[in-house]
Copies of this chain bind each other. A is one copy, B any other.
Amino acid sequence: MWSCITDFFTYETTKSVVVKSWTIGVINRAVQLLIFSYFIGWVFVYEKAYQLRDTAIESSVMTKGASVFCIITKMITTENQVQGYCPENVDKYICTHNSNCTRLVNKPGSYGILTGRCVPFKDTIKTCEINGWCPAEIDTIKTTPMMEVENFTIFIKNSIRFPTFNYTKGNFLPTITDKYINECNFDIVHNTYCPIFKVGDVVRYAQQNFTKLADKGGVIGIKIGWICDLDKSDGHCNPSYSFTRLDALSQKNAVSPGYNFRFAKYYKMENGTDYRTLVKAYAIRFDVLVNGEAGKFNMIPTLINLVAAFTSIGVGTVLCDIILLNFLKGAELYKAKKFEERGGPHFHLLLATELPQRSAHCLKV
């Protein structure tokens, strides 16, 4: 019992061989320096492993809309639609007999529910009849986009908070005045604290051509990144903006390029019948995307990473041993010194059947 206790409080450390050699000594220290530099330079300075991180950014985006809003650049309006029966106008619904239409019933894609009848559309052309809002929209009309949109401005107010550190900031300074807001203009280099964005600038920052974009519509992402080192002063926590076209793939193919949607304005006749104006709108949609993380010095991550750093320095020994025992002159001698053999010249087959008496009492860990 007492022997187990004294056994428990003995200290075991590895026996070391000291090799007095410039070659291996320098290699060893060089490898250690490399590992040390990695920890200092990359882990501590670059990745700031001594900080507690907060990636759960709370953000509120306010525009004269929501964090996703759009500016209409082109409209095709179909006025005075009423519920009823009328011929479709899309080219694929051209027909000669009812039978052409019957097989299309329940097929998706038309503006209303297909009745299965083939009715005259214009002149001698016949199309399948639909039950829905009539007359059906003709969206192949060429219209020119409103180029004035390029000079329109967007007002984006972004307020963020890091809950772990209870730190709050926004994309405008608390010192701004009405006069400044009325006159300033966001500039990605010189003026990142003005919340007023000119549409033309945003489109240019996203490397798009305004004329093309206004014609077909599209989605522009306005990304606001907040990477904050809260160990530094408040002035170092600034938003960084980046602008990209989010529907980049839309440009590459001819089918349904750009961005458009439909909406209707509903009116009532004196007799109570509903009628509507259907609008197919081509628009530039702006998605404001906010992300960020903050870090602040904290003991726990610092300690864990310091221990990791010190332990990792020992890794250098593995490399040096390989060099020492294999590639250096006099390796055989080192081997003889490093390795003490046990078990004579012939191999033994050790069996685990009998537990040695003493170790049954106090396990060796």
Contact = CB atoms under 8 A, between A and B. Distances in A.
A331 B343 contact: no
Contact of A323 (B56, B175, B310, B352): B352
Contact of A356 (B168, B326, B341, B343): B326
Given A170-B249, A318-B311, A11 B15 contact: no
Nearest to A311: B315
A189 interface: no
Interface in A97-112: 106-109
Q: How many monomers of this chain does the complex have?
A: 3
Interface residues of A, number: 137
Given A10-B20, A20-B343, A22-B9, A338 B249 contact: no
Contacts of A266: 265
A1 interface: no
A326 B221 contact: no
A13 B323 CA distance: 12
A339 B329 CA distance: 22
Contact of A13 (B6, B62, B250, B317): B317
Nearest to A357: B332
Contacts of A262: 64
B347 A329 contact: no
A40 to B, nearest CB: 15
Contacts of A157: 247, 250, 256
